[in-house]
Amino acid sequence: MRAPRRYGNALSPYRHLLALLVCLATLAAFAQQSPPKDAPPVLRVTTRLVLVSAIVQDKKGNPVTDLTKDDFILLERGKEQAISTFALESSRVLPREATTLPPNTFSNRLENRTGVPTSITVILLDGLNTAIQDQAYARQQVVKFLQQIQPQDRVAIYAMGRNSIRVVHDFSSDPTALLAALRNQRGRISPEEQASNEPTEPITTGVQELDDFIAESSQRMADFYTIDRALMTVAALEALANHLARFPGRKNLIWVSSSFPMAINIDNPRPTADRRTFFSETESASRALSNANVSIYPVDARGLMAAITMIPPATMRGFNQPLRTGLEGFRYTIDTMQSLAERTGGKAYYNRNDIDGAVRSAMDDSRVSYVLGYYPAHGKWDGHFVELKVKVKRPGLRVRARAGYFADAEGKAPPEAITTLLREAASSPLDATSLGLQVRVNSVEANGKKLLKLAVDVDTRDITLHREGDRWVGALDFYFGQRSTEGKSLTGVRQTLDMHLKEDTYQRFTAKKTVTLNGDMTLKEETVQVRVVVRDSLTGAVGSVNIPVAQLQPADSVSPRASPPR
The β-bridge partners of 405 are 386
Instruction: Give 308's pLDDT tier (boundaries 50, 70, 90).
Output: very low
pLDDT, the chain, mean: 76
DSSP for 9-63?
A: TTTGGGTTT-----SHHHHHHHHTSPPPTT----SB-SPPPEEEEEEEE-TTSPB
Q: What is the rounded CA–CA span in Å between residue 288 and residue 295?
A: 11
Task: Please give the distance of CA 355 from its chain centroid, rounded to a whole number.
Answer: 24
The domain that holds 271 is classified in CATH as 3.40.50.410
The domain that holds 441 is classified in CATH as 2.60.40.3880
pLDDT for the residue 91 = 58
Instruction: Give 137's pLDDT tier (boundaries 50, 70, 90).
Output: confident
Instruction: Give 262's pLDDT tier (boundaries 50, 70, 90).
Output: low
Does 5 fall in a domain?
Answer: no
Judgement on whether residues 380 and 456 belong to the same structural domain of the protein: no
H-helix or E-strand spanning residue 304: none
Judgement on whether residues 168 and 216 belong to the same structural domain of the protein: yes
Judgement on whether residues 76 and 206 belong to the same structural domain of the protein: no
Q: What is the rounded CA–CA span in Å between residue 546 and residue 61?
A: 42
Q: What is the pLDDT of residues 454-473, one digit of tens each?
A: 999 998 888 888 888 889 99
Judgement on whether residues 233 and 198 belong to the same structural domain of the protein: yes
Q: For the stretch 488-506, what's the b/e string if a residue is b when 16 or more beta carbons lie within 10 angstroms of its beta carbon? A: eebbbbbbebebbbeeebb
Does 436 fall in a domain?
Answer: yes
Q: What is the pLDDT of residues 386-445, one digit of tens each?
A: 999 999 999 999 999 988 888 876 656 677 888 888 888 888 878 888 888 999 999 888
For the chain, give the percent of residues with pLDDT over 90. 17
Judgement on whether residues 359 and 401 belong to the same structural domain of the protein: no
Q: What is the pLDDT of residues 99-121, one digit of tens each?
A: 678 899 999 887 666 656 667 88
Judgement on whether residues 234 and 328 belong to the same structural domain of the protein: yes
Does 427 fall in a domain?
Answer: yes
pTM of the model: 0.69
Judgement on whether residues 522 and 484 belong to the same structural domain of the protein: yes
Count the domains in the chain.
3
Judgement on whether residues 490 and 541 belong to the same structural domain of the protein: yes
Stretch 229-235: mean pLDDT, rounded?
85
Please say if the pLDDT value at position 446 is more than 80: no
Please say if the pLDDT value at position 330 is more than 70: no
Listed residues 305, 339, 364: the one ending a domain? 364
Which has the closest alpha carbon to 157: 121, 132, 118?
121
Judgement on whether residues 398 and 501 belong to the same structural domain of the protein: no
Q: What is the pLDDT of residues 201-215, one digit of tens each?
A: 666 777 778 877 777
Stretch 66-88: mean pLDDT, rounded?
93
Q: What is the rounded CA–CA span in Å between residue 299 and residue 143?
A: 15
Listed residues 331, 349, 364: the one ending a domain? 364
User: Which range among 39-48, 51-60, 107-116 shows the weakest confidence by mean pLDDT?
Assistant: 39-48
Q: What is the pLDDT of residues 12-25, one digit of tens each?
A: 333 333 333 333 33
Q: What is the rounded CA–CA span in Å between residue 311 and residue 308?
A: 9
* Best-predicted range by mean pLDDT (35-49, 67-81, 310-324): 67-81
Does 112 fall in a domain?
Answer: no
Does 279 fall in a domain?
Answer: yes
Does 457 fall in a domain?
Answer: yes
Judgement on whether residues 326 and 218 belong to the same structural domain of the protein: yes
Judgement on whether residues 448 and 402 belong to the same structural domain of the protein: no
Instruction: Give 556's pLDDT tier (boundaries 50, 70, 90).
Output: low
Does 543 fall in a domain?
Answer: yes
Please say if the pLDDT value at position 230 is more than 90: no
pLDDT for the residue 538 = 82
pLDDT for the residue 349 = 87
Does 108 fall in a domain?
Answer: no
Instruction: Give 323's pLDDT tier (boundaries 50, 70, 90).
Output: very low
Judgement on whether residues 320 and 430 belong to the same structural domain of the protein: no
Query: Domain span at residue 393?
Result: 50-91+368-406
Ramachandran class of 396: left when φ > 0, alpha when ψ lies in -120 to 50, beta otherwise = left
pLDDT for the residue 69 = 94
